[in-house]
Amino acid sequence: MAVSGRKKGPVSPAVAGPVAVYPGSFDPITNGHLDIVKRALAVFPRVVLAVAFNPNKDSALFTAEERVATIREALVEFGDRIEVDTFSGLLVDYARRIEAAVVVRGLRAVSDFEYEFQMTMMNRHLAPAIETVFLMAGAQYFYTSSRLVKEVALFGGDVRAHVPPAVRRRLAAKLGTQTGRGRKRR
Among the listed residues 46, 81, 108, 150, the single catalytic one is 108
Q: What is the pLDDT of residue 10?
A: 52
pTM recorded for the entire structure: 0.85
Does 8 qualify as catalytic in the annotation? Answer: no
pLDDT digits (tens, 9 = 90+) for 36-55: 999 999 999 999 999 998 77
Q: What are the DSSP calls for 126-181, one per residue?
A: H-TTSEEEEEEPPGGGTT--HHHHHHHHHTT---TTTS-HHHHHHHHHHHTEETTT
Whole-number average pLDDT of the chain: 86
Instruction: Give CA separation, 106 vs 76, 94, 141, 145, in Å.
Output: 21, 19, 11, 11
Is the bond leading into 28 cis (omega within 30 degrees of zero)?
yes
Among the listed residues 57, 59, 111, 125, the single catalytic one is 57
Does 108 qualify as catalytic in the annotation? Answer: yes
Coil, strand, or helix at residue 18? coil
Question: Residue 163 contacts by C-beta under 8 Å, 6 or more apart in sequence?
Answer: 28, 29, 30, 31, 149, 171, 179
Among the listed residues 6, 33, 72, 170, the single catalytic one is 33
Q: What is the pLDDT of residue 183?
A: 45
Sign of CA dihedral 131, 26, 64, 67: negative
What count of other Cβ atoms lies within 10 Å of the Cβ of residue 186? Answer: 4
Region 52-75: mean pLDDT is: 88
Which range (51-55, 152-156, 162-166) has the least confidence?
51-55
Among the listed residues 39, 46, 81, 146, the single catalytic one is 146
Does 162 qualify as catalytic in the annotation? Answer: no
Question: Is residue 86 exposed (0-12), middle (13-18) or buried (19+ Cβ within 10 Å)?
Answer: middle
CATH architecture of 17-143: 3-Layer(aba) Sandwich (3.40)
Does 33 qualify as catalytic in the annotation? Answer: yes
Q: What is the pLDDT of residue 108?
A: 83
Specify the amino acid at residue 157: G
Say whether pLDDT at 67 is over 90. Answer: yes
Residue spans per domain, the chain? 17-143
Say whether pLDDT at 159 is over 80. Answer: yes
